[in-house]
């Protein structure tokens, strides 16, 4: 009986220890797997409270401390132009880029209150994607390849509210442009020339839909939906095209290549009437 009591007491004390002592496993959260070395083999990445842990296929682990108590893995992409992706971390007032291949850490200060990493895109036509940070009335472009950054003030308007809706090649030249909407105004920012270009939209109300190649020529078209039409902006030759659809509850159902010729078609769904196809390459609207 005495042995049984001692055994039960021992089990009770052990259970207290188990439930009251934090488990390391509970503090380790899997974030995903990416090829960080450039060798074609993916490494597992973990959130370990105040650090990021990278575990390789052979079991080797590397820990990268994060200085801020609050942080997030914002993006994983090639930022330096060399093989292997980098980990882009948003924390406090710092954008941290971890180069696991070289075990190097680059930090870039962000002097704003609220900010976010929104894109990683090649904006200068050189190897490695730039990290795009938005905050207040500024766009910050981090060039990790050269360990530098630039800030650009967004044109004013709409009470200070604006959106960076897409990064895409709109002019047909190396490097993506940034498409920014400020209320009912649309701007295209070119990082190579460091300029904002404004396009007037001849409609009272419109909404950004997407950026796609619709005519098979270099440079993708910016596609807007208005109340009565599909409005295209061709930044590469600074022209526009307005395809009239009419009033009603129609919508852009899809954008895809359906005829096998360069350039995607825009499929419009019209209630009780089926589909209309915009073939921008020929400038035609047909029923299907």
Question: Which of the pair, 160 or 113, is modelled with greater confidence?
Answer: 160
pLDDT for the residue numbered 233:
98
Mean pLDDT of 70-98: 96
pLDDT for the residue numbered 5:
34
pLDDT for the residue numbered 25:
52
pLDDT for the residue numbered 7:
34
Buried b (16+ CB within 10 A) or exposed e, 31-68: beebbbbeeeeebbbbbbeeebebebeeeeeeebebee
pLDDT for the residue numbered 113:
82
- What is the reported pTM? 0.87
SS3 sequence, 105-162?
Answer: EEEEECCCCCEEEEEEECCCCCCCCEEEEEECCEEEEEECCCCEEEEEECCCCHHHCC
pLDDT for the residue numbered 1:
41
pLDDT for the residue numbered 26:
56
> How far is C-alpha 212 from the chain's CA centre?
16
For 239-251, the pLDDT digits (tens) are 999 999 999 899 9
Nearest CA to 139 out of 84, 188, 97 is that of 188
Residue 2 has pLDDT above 80, yes or no: no
Give the CA angle between residues 73, 91, 112 to the nearest 5°.
Answer: 125
Question: Which of the pair, 39 or 4, is modelled with greater confidence?
Answer: 39
pLDDT for the residue numbered 10:
39
Residue 67 has pLDDT above 80, yes or no: yes
Mean pLDDT of 112-116: 89
């Amino acid at each position: 009986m005495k042995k049984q009591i001692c055994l039960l007491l021992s089990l009770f004390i052990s259970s207290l220890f188990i439930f009251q002592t934090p488990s390391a496993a509970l503090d380790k959260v899997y974030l995903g797997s990416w090829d960080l070395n450039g060798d074609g083999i993916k490494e597992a990445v973990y959130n370990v409270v105040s650090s990021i842990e990278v575990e390789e296929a052979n079991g080797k682990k590397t820990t990268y401390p994060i200085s801020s108590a609050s942080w997030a893995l914002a993006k994983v992409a090639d930022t330096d132009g060399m093989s292997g992706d980098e980990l882009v971390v948003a924390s406090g007032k710092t954008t941290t880029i971890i180069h696991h291949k070289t075990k190097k850490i680059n930090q870039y200060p962000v002097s704003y209150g609220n900010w976010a990493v929104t894109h990683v895109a090649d904006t200068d036509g050189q190897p490695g994607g730039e990290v795009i940070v938005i905050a207040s009335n500024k766009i910050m472009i981090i060039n990790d390849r050269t360990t530098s950054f630039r800030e650009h003030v967004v044109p004013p308007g709409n009470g200070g509210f604006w959106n960076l809706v897409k990064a895409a090649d709109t002019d047909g030249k190396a490097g993506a442009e940034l498409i920014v909407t400020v209320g009912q105004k649309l701007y295209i920012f070119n990082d190579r020339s460091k300029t904002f270009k404004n396009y007037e939209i001849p409609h009272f109300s419109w909404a950004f839909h997407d950026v796609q190649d619709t005519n098979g020529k270099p440079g993708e078209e910016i596609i807007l939906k208005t109340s009565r039409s599909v409005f295209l902006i061709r930044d590469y030759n600074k022209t526009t095209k307005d395809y009239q659809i009419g009033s009603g509850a129609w919508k852009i159902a899809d954008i895809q290549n359906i005829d096998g010729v360069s350039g995607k078609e825009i499929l419009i769904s019209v209630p009780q009437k089926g589909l209309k196809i915009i073939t921008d390459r020929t400038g035609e609207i047909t029923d299907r």
